[in-house]
């Protein structure tokens, strides 16, 4: 154990003091950034509290291919939603990172910023200071980009020398074939969707995977990037893991309540401790646990708080509301020809051993794959009727809820392996298309089940409850089937035709000209899942529409901010890890530059 690692404590009784200038609750994507930046001022003392364990030494948090092995473990909050009315009463599994680095330590490491208009539209919500022009320079500051070769975007369009590594990992030939096939249905190739100019098109996925140095081939998380050994050695930074914050403590002075500390414990049966915040408390516990903590602390809808016996500190009507997500229809799985996929290679005699040896020696090969190697962004309104469908299945009309004319509302990931039910179903020689809705109109909520801080909250995302969401993804599913019938992808697949409807290969076996809309909708009802992007439950906005002002301060109280995905008014059409890190970085810079901010 290094001196730096030994500074990560696992019990509040180990702390040298019970008072800090800043207390950051949640060591995830945002929390690690805030801890790094705020502690760069040696005059400030900073405490970072994380419910989960240290990420160091957790193999599945280091090896990109193994990320789904963290699901349903101690490193996962392992949440489940309420039964979903639009999905035949199914309860959905929602993994969330319970480990230093949070979801940046267990996600698929995808770097997609979305459209500039996704950020600019926040001004319509009364939010200032977070436009794309504000955040784009920060996104570049965050990254240390290494292109695969001269055909990739040059350094001038990317950031160099930043804390988080970005680049391109393993690229399977079958995924290249997917991108080529997508061009046959009008989805143009785009070598980099993150230049800020055009986020549409098929692309090799840029990842948070290190491509150089001692960590080559390993995940670059918020923890590995911002809590380096040098940072952890700072005398003014303390990291406390395996400790849960039960509530924020408020003092009544100078009018409105002031957040003065937190109450913490390591388990339901352990001793509780109170830790004082001399300046501010920043909640960075994520889109589920941040609203839960606000509610437990008495900030939320008065009626809801009274129902569970929580004393009201401030009646904030929208805490826990506006729960957003990017849902998926569930995977479309195809049988690939032998030798085309990752799972086939790993299933061969000695395949896993050889692949691991290659990864350990060079950082390359299938273990450097993030699974989601390629993806395609498009607008459902651009999907044209296939000639073979003319007059048979009129294309379903959809409304455009995107932020602008270059903003996508659908993403389809191409993965060189089977990925069914969050990777829990073993597949050999599978290729997966993974359609994702990026501009959903179905909004849900997070609510307390009781006043017990150890009880999971009620999570009701109301997935696919809005008919426009279903219409868009019905179009997307048919388009996926068309892509799979186009060369060169079809040449690498074994399209089966005689499978039962209960078989995971069934939808992929259907002819795009013959499958009915009813069958496609049935697939959504029976297979839809989360794509792991909850947000919006403590959104920025006006006092009437939001929980936070544009400085991320919680309305109605003093000394309390929120900085994580729950603060987003709407979800950008991408993968929000980069967005959350960028907001945290810029927020910390502003706080350091101006104490009154």
Indicate if 575 belongs to the active site: yes
Strands (E) located in 205-358: 237-240, 244-252, 257-265, 273-283, 299-300, 314-315, 327-328, 332-335
Tokens 């990992």 identify what position?
169
- Give the residue from 125, 32, 96, 74 showing the smallest Cα distance to 290: 96
Reduce the DSSP state of residue 56 to 3 states and report it. coil
Q: Is 466 a catalytic residue?
A: no
Nearest residue to 563 via CA among 28, 128, 164, 132: 28
46 is annotated as contributing to ligand binding: no
In 191-312, which ranges are E strands? 201-204, 237-240, 244-252, 257-265, 273-283, 299-300
Instruction: Report which of 302, 149, 127 is spatially closest to residue 211, judged by C-alpha positions.
Output: 149
- Name the residue with tokens 């309420």: 82
* Tokens 């980069």, residue located: 578
| Rg for the chain, CA atoms, rounded | 23
Give strand ranges (E) for 424-559: 430-437, 445-447, 458-460, 529-530
3-state secondary structure of 152: coil
> What is the bridge-based pairing of β-strands 46-49 and 19-25?
parallel
Cβ neighbour number for residue 490 with a 10 Å cutoff: 16
Start-to-end C-alpha separation, the chain? 39
Q: What are the residues whose beta carbons fall under 8 Å from the beta carbon of 596, sequence distance 6 or more?
A: none
**Structure-token pair, residue 319:** 């805490």
Cβ-Cβ contacts under 8 Å for 57 (sequence gap 6 or more): none
Catalytic residue among 145, 326, 466, 575: 575
Catalytic residue among 72, 155, 533, 551: 533
Q: What positions carry a catalytic annotation? A: 533, 575
Please state the residue numbers annotated as binding site for FAD.
245
Please state the residue numbers annotated as binding site.
245
């Amino acid at each position: 154990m290094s001196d730096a690692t030994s500074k990560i404590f696992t019990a509040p009784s180990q702390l040298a003091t019970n008072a800090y200038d800043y207390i950051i609750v949640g060591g995830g994507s945002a929390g690690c950034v805030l801890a790094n930046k705020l502690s760069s001022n040696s005059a400030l003392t900073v405490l970072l509290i994380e419910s989960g364990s240290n990420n160091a030494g957790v193999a599945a948090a280091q090896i990109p291919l193994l990320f789904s092995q963290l699901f349903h473990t101690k490193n996962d909050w392992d949440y489940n939603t309420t039964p979903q009315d639009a999905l035949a009463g199914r309860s959905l599994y929602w993994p969330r990172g319970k480990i230093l680095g949070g979801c940046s330590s267990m996600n698929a490491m995808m770097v997609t910023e979305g459209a500039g208009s996704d950020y600019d539209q926040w001004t319509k919500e009364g939010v200032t200071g977070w436009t794309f022009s504000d955040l784009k320079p920060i996104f570049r500051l965050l990254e240390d980009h290494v292109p695969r070769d001269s055909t990739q975007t040059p350094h001038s369009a990317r950031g160099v020398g930043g804390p988080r590594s970005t680049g391109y990992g393993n690229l399977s030939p079958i995924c290249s074939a997917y991108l080529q096939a997508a061009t046959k249905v009008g989805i143009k190739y785009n070598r980099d969707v993150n230049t800020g100019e055009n986020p549409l098109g098929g692309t090799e996925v840029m990842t948070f995977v290190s491509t150089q140095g001692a960590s080559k081939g390993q995940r670059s998380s918020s923890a590995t990037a911002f809590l380096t050994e040098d940072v952890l050695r700072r005398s003014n930074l303390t990291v406390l893991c395996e400790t849960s914050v039960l509530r924020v403590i408020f003092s009544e002075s100078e009018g409105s309540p002031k957040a003065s500390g937190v109450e913490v414990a390591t388990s339901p049966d352990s001793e509780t401790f109170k830790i004082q915040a001399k300046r501010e408390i920043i909640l960075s516990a994520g889109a589920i646990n941040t609203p839960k903590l606000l509610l437990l602390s008495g900030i939320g809808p008065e009626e809801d708080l009274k129902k569970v016996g929580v004393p009201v500190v401030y009646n904030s009507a929208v805490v826990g509301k506006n729960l957003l997500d990017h849902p998926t229809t569930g995977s479309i799985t195809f049988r690939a020809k032998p030798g085309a996929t990752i799972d086939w290679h790993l299933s061969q005699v000695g395949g896993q051993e050889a692949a691991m040896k290659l990864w350990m020696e060079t950082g390359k090969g299938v273990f450097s794959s993030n699974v989601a190697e390629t993806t395609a962004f498009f607008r459902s309104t651009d999907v044209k009727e296939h000639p073979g469908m003319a007059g048979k299945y009129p294309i379903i009309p959809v409304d455009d809820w995107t932020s602008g004319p270059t903003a996508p509302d659908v993403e389809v990931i191409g993965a060189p392996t089977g990925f069914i039910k969050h990777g829990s179903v073993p597949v050999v020689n599978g290729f997966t298309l993974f359609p994702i809705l990026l501009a959903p109109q179905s909004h849900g909520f997070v609510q307390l089940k009781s006043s017990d801080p150890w009880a999971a909250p009620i999570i009701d995302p109301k997935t696919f409850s809005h008919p426009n969401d279903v219409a868009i993804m019905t179009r997307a599913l048919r388009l996926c089937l068309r892509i799979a019938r186009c060369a060169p992808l079809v040449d690498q697949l074994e399209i089966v035709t005689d499978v039962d409807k209960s078989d995971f290969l069934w939808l992929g076996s259907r002819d795009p000209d013959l499958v009915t809309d009813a069958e496609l909708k049935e697939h959504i009802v029976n297979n839809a899942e989360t794509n792991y992007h909850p947000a919006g439950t403590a959104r920025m906005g006006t006092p009437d529409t939001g929980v936070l002002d544009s400085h991320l301060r919680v309305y109605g109280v003093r000394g309390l901010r929120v900085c994580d995905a729950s603060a987003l008014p709407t979800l950008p059409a991408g993968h929000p890890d980069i967005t959350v890190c960028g907001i945290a970085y810029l927020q910390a810079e502003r706080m350091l530059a101006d104490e009154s901010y």
